Amino acid sequence: MLDGLIIGFQTAMSMQNILFVIFGCFVGTFIGMLPGLGPITAIALMIPITYGIDPSSGMILMAGVYYGAIFGGSTSSILINAPGVAGTVATSFDGYPMACKGQAGKALAIAAYASFSGGTIAAVFLLVAAPALSSISLSFQSPDYFALLLLGLTAVAAFSSKGNFLKSIMMTLFGLMLSTVGTDQASGIERFTFGQIDLLDGISFLLIAMSMFALSEALLSIVNNKDDGSGVTPATEVGSLKLTRAEIKEMAPTVGRSSILGFFVGVLPGAGATIASFLAYGMERNLSSAKEKLKFGKGSLRGLAAPETANNAACSGSFVPLLTLGIPGSGTTAVMLGALMAYGIQPGPRLFIDNPEVFWSVIVSMYIGNIVLLLINLPLIPYIAKALTLPKQLLTVLILFFSLIGVYLVSFNNFDIYMMAGFAVIAIGLRLLDFSMSPLILGFILGGMLEQNLRRSLTLYDGSISFLWDRPITLGILTVTVLVLLMPIISSLRKGDDSDASSKVAEI
C-alpha cells in the first residue's frame, strides 16, 4: 500500500496532472450548474480529449469532471429549484427555501463545505479500505439491493410534514407508477404506452424533475404573482456567506454521519449518489428532535448539509467497484469503464498489480480535486448567487427557458415538451392541494431499480419470497426498514399518551 501511495503521489502531483484536475473540476462544475446536463454528459464530452493522453491523466481528468459536476449540480437546485442531476434533488428540499429567504450565499457556502468534507473523508476511506470493501460489495446480491432500495423508499417519512404522511405515500406510489411506463426490459412488452411510440423508452428523469420542480415553480410564481407556492418569497439579496460557530457545531455530526453513509452506499454497485443523498436526508430527519424536524423542507441547515455530503462521498465510493471489480456503480462510472477499456486496461482485482499508477493516482487526485473545487467555488459564490437579484419576471422566463431547452436538447422530441407541460399543470394542482413533489421523485428514481432487483430475486429463488429472510444481510436491512417505518407511529402514540396523561393531571 505504501509503495502504491508513493506511485500515486508521484503521478498525481505532476504539473500536467494537477492542471488536468483543475480543468476537470472547472468544466464539471460549470456543466453541473446547467439544468439538463449532468456528469454523464460532462464525461462523454471529455472522452475525445482523453484519447490523446496517457491512462492515468485521462482517468484523473474524468474523475475531476465527475465530482465537479456533482459539486456544481447543487447550484441550480439551490438557486432556481431545478435539480438537473438526480443526486442533487434532495439538496433542493432545504437549499431552495434558504435562497428564497435571502440566504442564498449561506446555502451555497454550506453546500461547498459539506461537499468538500464528504469528498475528502470518502477519499481517505477509499485510500485505506478499497481492497477490503471490494469483497463486501461483491457479496451483495439482488435480494440485498431490493432491501436497500426499500430502505431508501422509507425516506418518504422525511418528506412528509405533520399530518401529511398518507399524502407522501400516495405521491411515492405515483412516482413508482410513472417509473413502469415504457418497454419492459426483461420481456420486451409495452407497458402503459397507450400506443405512443414516444413512450416506448419510458419517461426520463430530467423531464419529471424539470416539470415537477422548476417549471411548476415558475408557473406558480406567475399565477400567484407574489407567492411562489413554497411559503417564501424570492430573495433580492445574496446574504452573508459566513457560518457561525453554532451552525458549524450543529452540522459537524451530520457531515460525519452522512460521509460514512454516502461512502458505503457508493461502494455498492448500482446504488450511487442519488440513493445516498435520499438516505442521508431521511436519516438526519429521523435523528432530529421534534422541534428540528419542523425546519426540514423550510431551510434546515442539517437538511442541506446531509445530502450534499452524502452525494459527494458516494462519488468517491463508486470508484471502489469500478477499480477493484470492474463493475460500474452508476451510469457515469459505466462511461468511465468504457474509457478504461479503450485504453486497453481491464479494471478488476489485478489493477493493483498491472496498473498501480492508474489506481493510486486516481485516489490521490480526488483529495487534490476536492481542495481545488473548494478554492474555485467559494470565491465565485457571490457572483453565482446574484442570479437571484435578477428581476422576478426575467428570472421566471430564464427558468422556463432552461427547463424547456434542457429537456428538448436531450431527446429533440416535441412530444417531451407537451408531456412536460402536462406534468407541470398536474404538479401545480397537486401543490395547491398540499402534496409534496419530493416523494414522487423518490419513487420514480428508485422504481426501476426496485423492480429489476425484485425480479432477479424471485428468479433466483424460483418465485418464492423466502429471499426476504434467507440472507442475513437482506433480513438485517429489512429489519431496519420496518423500524424506520414504525418510528413515526411510535412517536405519535407516545405523544398521545403524554397528552392523555397531561389532561388527567389537569383534571386532578
pLDDT along the chain (508 residues), means of 10: 73 86 85 67 71 83 83 78 73 86 84 87 77 64 82 65 73 88 82 85 79 78 57 51 83 90 78 79 84 83 89 81 66 70 70 75 82 81 65 74 76 86 89 81 79 87 84 86 74 61 50
* pLDDT of 327: 61
Phi, psi dihedral angles at 244 (to 5 degrees)? -75, 165
How far, in Å, CA of 508 to CA of 503, rounded?
Answer: 9
Chain centroid to Cα 121, Å, comes to 18
- CA angle 307/243/237 to nearest 5° reads 90
* pLDDT of 194: 85
* pLDDT of 385: 62
* pLDDT of 30: 78
Tally of CA atoms within 13 A in the half-sphere of 18 that contains its CB: 8
For the chain, the domains span: 2-507
- CA angle 262/263/265 to nearest 5° reads 65
* pLDDT of 231: 40
Closest CA to 119 of 372, 349, 301: 372
| Bridge partners, residue 190, by sequence | 183
- What residues have CB less than 8 Å from 410, skipping those under 6 apart? 36, 204, 206, 416
3-state helix, strand, coil in the chain (%, to 5): 80, 0, 20
The residue whose grid cell reads 419576471 is 393
Q: Are 137 and 268 in contact (CB under 8 A)?
A: yes
